[in-house]
Structure 1
Amino acid sequence: MWNNSRKIKTLIISFILIVTIFASSLAFNISTADAHILIIGDSFNDYPLSYSETNKLAQTLKSRGYEVLELYRENATSKNILKGMFNADAIIYAGHGGYQTGNYNNKGGSAKAPFAIVTSDSDYKWIWGVEDKMREGWNGELFYAPFKPGIPVIFLHACFSTGWVENYEVANPIETIYNFSRMFTGSGANYYATAWNGAEIIYDFLNGAENFKEANLQNWETITRSTLFNGTLIWKNTGGYAAFVGDWKGTFPTAIETTPYDNQAAEEWYNSKRIKSSTVSFFDVSKGPYYINQNITFFEKSHDTPYALIKYIWNWGDGNILYSDTPHNINYSYNAPGIFVVNHTVWNNQNQSASYCRTIEVINRNPVVDFKFNASNLFPGTPINFLSSSYDPDTGDSINSLKWNFGDGSSGSGPSLTHSYNKSGNYTVTLTATDSFGKSSSKSTKITINPPKVVATPKPDLIITSSRKSGRYLYVTIKNQGSAIAKNFHTRAWYGQSSSKNYKDIYTSSLASGASVTLKVPYSYKNGSIKVDFFNKVSESNENNNLRKF
């Protein structure tokens, strides 16, 4: 049986999801180069939903390139969890919360510390929060959580974490949140908790939220109120199901900042004295994305109490190292694209050191491609001048090659070219620009080459503009409305249906373009037909307008 003074009661909650990204520099000389996401689900092996929720989240993170360490059910021992916490960038816990018998009545009364993370250990060797430290089991030594500084702790749908226990809000929610969060914030973490389902806050980060402020605004319940407790701002809406303690600018790690779990280093830490050093190395970075030859600001945030820091070393990851004996923010730029691990080591006047590193991705942007050509109404054989206006957007980078494809099987290179097409049709002109790092981009434009112009051969066009009968004569006016002279043609007038009977022919030797002539023909009939160029001797532009009746 348990001793009455040490009885522990387990409060089974609907769902606890703790996301933590902690940091502290330990006397054990922790390297911050290795980092991962730790996921713990259903540690008491009695809550399948907590397993399925964390497993789904783990698969999502891994599909996006994150390094993930998963501990489920019987594997979620206190030792494995603490080792997994070592140097972790995030910890996701779904299971139960524990409290000591007599510290809460389970009906909305006051809740008193300490609170625990329940593990799978059969001897109830849970992880307890005692003020700003942790303790393994009931009699273990106190130690600070072995995480990086300045990162988030997130509880989702968790009793106590928001001041709620199942269907009751505790009588002292602000104090409860403060006490529950201290074992995490004591190691420099940002603490976020919500009772809503779905791990929404994590997906907000994965979908682009830059920090807790942005993620909070996207959540179902937006936290807007704060209360000062023991010198700490506790953010919680009245009666709400979400809480926050820390810096709203805190972020969730990116995939490139995570590396595989280092079991050997974690084992060495677990077996050490777990003493927290006073020396802390840390820096922040100006907001990306980062481009080549662009200044990136590194904000110095290392500190030591009570000793003085006397040496600052920056290893930029590109072969360059900066040494300084004073703290200051630094602007640094990379002259090539790539992924660089920036390692910052500080030393105090007791010859103690601490290191912190962060991954920086420097991007080489694509060349911006554009061009124009100087002609319209294009025809085969027309010389066309093509001129590139392409450029590289990165400072210090340049376009090394410009290659043209004219879409007719021919190509060329250079900033400007003259080209002509042999045939009419639609062609696609493509210009490809490549920068000094071999990165290329292209632009294509369609161009139309019209069929060749057909120059018409000048021809006459004879028409009858008027006809009238006066006395014994028929007067006929003929006009050449064509573009060439008409020569040696006859005009016939006849009566009746047959043009071979009762007719008169009049010969005209020539009629210039645009000229008219009136012919006088003896004709005794009052009506009939007239056709100019009756024998079709003249090649006209229109052969169908020679006949007229009168």
Structure 2
Amino acid sequence: MYKSKKKLLKLTLAAFLVGVFTFLPAAEAHILIISDSNNYNEASTLVKTLKSKGYKVVALYKENATTKNIIKGMYKADAVIYEGHGGYQSGNYDGNGGTAKAPFALVGSNGFIWGINGQMREGWNGKLFTAPFKKNIPVILLHTCFSTGWVNGKEVANPTETVYNFAKMFNSAGANYYATGWSGAEIVYDFLRGATSFSDANGKNYEKITKYTTYSGVRVWRNDDGMCAFVGNWSGKFPTAAQTTAYDNAAAEKWYNTAVNPKPDLVITKAYKSGNYLYVTVKNQGTASSGVCYTRAWYGTYYKNIYTYGLKSGAYKTYKVYFKYKHGTVKTDYNKKVSEINENNNGKSF
């Protein structure tokens, strides 16, 4: 449980990073597993089990579990398993069993992923987006405050509403949401031992969910004072190893830079001399408009700065400047005024 005050955020992230362990790189896989240091042993055991059965797994631990990596890992995921903290905004919960108000968040190593009216948002002022995983996948939250209506051993005053609001960011993208406060990732192992659906796995669980309450037209399954919750289709399944697909990091990065965090990307497409003048074409190949900056052309200690106008995504502009040398180097955004997708592709020789 974490408030959304910036001072407390620093404490949150410090606590999140406590513990010494390694992490697996997000290279190929599509069972996405996220874990903080408190649940590392449980998560790493689950990762080993899944991989031994042929599953492709992306595991994000410690500082590698950034909000960007988590969101990218969701791209076309076959399943998501999250072991970490649930966040809330300051003033929306009293910390002592009172009413919990939306929005709620997943906590990454560097910030929050908020659920906002069925969509997600990275950080405080990010762009709203719909979770990018496949339809009908399982999203399983383990030990996450608010996800089952409990926070640090105390039940909130409105558990059904709380579970509904936490689940909404996943359900709205077509996922089946299951959350539990019990240890051991029991429901995942039920599936691996042959459970054919959430309903079948639920029947094998230590706590079998038997009750539901309809909230805002949606059945929220949760026993009285229960430690498990489900919102979705009981016929939903966990994928087999053969059904998991390779994680495409390049495609995920492209989607992220378009849907979640669009940024400009300034490049020099042309730079050539004609007579005493240098002609430089600057293009914004990014996904958002750029601000103004300057482009520098130089040879040795001699240089010329070109005031460079802001460009919309996909736009370009050619500039003309007197330059006395035949050869040199030109670099746009030389004064680092523009935050870009790629900060290392601004230069070109002529």
Per the normalisation by structure 1, the TM-score is 0.43
* Alpha-carbon displacement from aligned partner over 1:125-154 (angstroms, at most 9, x marks no partner): x21111100001110010000011112222
CA distance in 1, matches of 2:200, 2:8: 38
**Equivalence for 1:51:** 40
For residues 190 and 5 of structure 2, the distance between their equivalents in structure 1, rounded to whole angstroms, comes to: 41
Q: CA deviation at 1:197?
A: 0.7
Q: Distance between the aligned counterparts of 2:200 and 2:4, measured in 1?
A: 45
Superposition map of 1:213-252 within 5 A: 213-252=199-238
Aligned partners of 1:35 and 1:87 also within 8 Å: no
> Is the CA contact (8 Å cut-off) linking 1:83 and 1:266 kept in structure 2?
yes
Structure 1 pair 5/238, CA: closer, same or farther in 2 (3 Å)?
Answer: closer
DSSP 3-state at the match of 1:66: coil
User: SS in structure 2 opposite 1:215?
Assistant: helix
Q: Secondary structure in 2 aligned to 1:138?
A: coil
Shift of 1:35: 6.3
Provide the rounded CA distance (Å) in 2 between the counterparts of 1:267 and 1:167: 38
Question: Is residue 65 of structure 1 aligned with residue 61 of structure 2?
Answer: no
Structure holding more strand per residue: 1
Task: Measure, in 2, the Cα distance between the counterparts of 1:9 and 1:106.
Answer: 14
* Residue in structure 1 matching 2:152, options 166, 172, 188: 166
Question: 1:8 touches 1:100 (CA, 8 Å); kept in 2?
Answer: no
Q: CA deviation at 1:273?
A: 2.9
Instruction: Please tell me whether the aligned partners of residues 132 and 144 of structure 1 are also in contact (alpha carbons under 8 angstroms).
Output: yes
Partner residue in 2 for 1:140 = 126
Partner SS state of residue 118, structure 1 = strand
SS at match of 1:271: helix
**Matched residue, 1:212:** 198
Which residue of structure 1 lines up, in the alignment, with residue 249 of structure 2? Answer: 263
- For the residue of structure 1 that corresponds to 2:259, the secondary structure is coil
Task: Work out the percentage of aligned pairs sharing the same amino acid.
Answer: 61
After superposition, give the CA deviation of every residue in 1:432-464 in whole Å (9 maximum; x if it has no partner). xxxxxxxxxxxxxxxxxxxxxxxxxxxxxxxxx
Partner in structure 1 of residue 30 of structure 2: 36
1:156 CA displacement: 2.1
User: Where does structure 1 differ by over 6 angstroms across 4 or more consecutive aligned residues?
Assistant: none
- Could you tell me which amino acid in structure 2 is paired with residue 147 of structure 1? F
**Higher gyration radius (CA):** 1
- Cα distance in 2 for partners of 1:5, 1:116 equals 10
SS in 2 for 1:272: helix
Match of 2:315 in 1: none
RMSD: 2.3
Aligned residues between the structures = 245
Distance 1:8 1:203 in 2: 39
Cross-structure match for 2:69:
80
8 Å CA contact retained: 2:126, 2:260: no
- TM-superposed CA distance for 1:259, in Å, is 2.4
Equivalent position to 2:104, from 103, 107, 115: 115
TM-score (norm 2): 0.66
Structure with bigger RCO (C-alpha 8 Å, 6+ apart): 2
CA distance in 2, matches of 1:41, 1:223: 25
Contact map agreement 1:104 1:111 (CA 8 A) in 2: yes
Unaligned runs of 5+ in 1: 16-33, 276-550
> What residue is the counterpart of 1:302 in the other structure?
none
Q: 1:90 to 1:152 in 2, by over 3 A?
A: same
Give the alignment partner of residue 104 of structure 1, picking from 93, 110, 114.
93
Q: CA deviation at 1:70?
A: 1.4
- 1:9–1:98: 8 Å Cα contact kept in structure 2? no
Judge conservation of contact 2:84–2:142 (CA < 8 Å) in 1: no
How far off is 1:274 after superposition? Answer: 5.5
Counterparts in 2 of 1:175 and 1:196: CA distance versus 1, 3 Å: same
